Amino acid sequence: MNGAVLVLLAGIVAFLQHPAPDRVVLLPAPDGSVGKVIVSTAGGEKEIAQAYATAAVTPGGGVQSGSAAETEVATRYADVLQARPRRPASYLLYFQNDSDQLTDASQATLEALKQDVASRPVPEILVIGHTDLVGSSDYNDNLSLQRAQVIAGMLQQLGVQPKSLEVTGRGMREPLVPTANGVEEPRNRRVEVSVR
């Protein structure tokens, strides 16, 4: 019996002295594009730049590269993949001229935004209002902020906490479509919403 306990203890000590190696798996972006990662240790360096390429730190401190099948990654790292936060989403909402009223065409986008926000447990939301280049800077600063506050108010009615919202107005400083001063451009009368 003492021999079995000794063997078990020796196995535990050996396991603790040689933990699983650090491993990097390069995943593709949703659009299929792939970046690159350089894994560097005192004992070596490897660059991986293909989908599902791997790099593992060996017990001696080197870096060993390889690859994995998509199904293997999905199975082996299922818990890690499930824990990833959702990707940020962006929405553009357009407004009627000289108003904080949404255009009819933006109603569908507003509904998609509301559904997205409602599906996130703790969303962080950036709401930025804009105007076209008609009118004074002061007037447009106020109007752009008013537009952003209207959208923020709608999100708060869904239960979004004010501390989860960053609301700002940029006036006519960042037109989506460059125009001369005094030119009406409906695409510049907008609120940009970023949700993460």
Domain annotation covers residue 9: no
Q: Kindly state the helix (H) or strand (E) to which residue 23 belongs, with its residue range.
A: strand 23-25
Short-list 195, 155, 152, 190, CA closest to 170: 190
Domain annotation covers residue 57: yes
Q: Which residue segment(s) compose the domain that 35 sits in?
A: 20-83
User: Is pLDDT of 163 > 80?
Assistant: yes
Count CB-CB contacts under 10 A for residue 8: 10
Domain boundary among 31, 60, 83: 83
Q: Do 43 and 34 meet the contact criterion of CB atoms below 8 Å apart?
A: no
Asked if 159 and 185 sit in the same domain, the reply is: yes
Number of domains in the chain: 2
To the nearest whole percent, how much of the chain has pLDDT over 90?
56
pLDDT confidence tier of residue 21, bands split at 50, 70 and 90: low
User: Is pLDDT of 14 > 80?
Assistant: no
Interval 75-106: pLDDT, tens: 988 888 888 888 899 999 999 999 999 999 99
Domain annotation covers residue 13: no
What is the CATH classification number for the domain harbouring 165? 3.30.1330.60
Query: How far is residue 133's CA from residue 144's CA, in Å, rounded to a whole number?
Result: 12
pLDDT confidence tier of residue 114, bands split at 50, 70 and 90: very high
- State which amino acid sits at residue 15: F
Asked if 142 and 157 sit in the same domain, the reply is: yes
Asked if 176 and 139 sit in the same domain, the reply is: yes
Using CA atoms, how far residue 124 sits from 56, 94, 118, 119, 178, in Å, is: 34, 21, 12, 12, 29
Asked if 69 and 106 sit in the same domain, the reply is: no
Domain annotation covers residue 12: no
User: In sequence order, what E strands does 26-178 have?
Assistant: 37-41, 44-48, 53-57, 63-67, 89-94, 125-129, 165-169
Query: How far is residue 124's CA from residue 137's CA, in Å, rounded to a whole number?
Result: 29
Asked if 98 and 28 sit in the same domain, the reply is: no
Count CB-CB contacts under 10 A for residue 34: 15
Domain annotation covers residue 154: yes
Domain boundary among 35, 67, 83: 83
Asked if 65 and 95 sit in the same domain, the reply is: no
Beta pairing class for 53-57 and 165-169: unpaired
Domain annotation covers residue 7: no
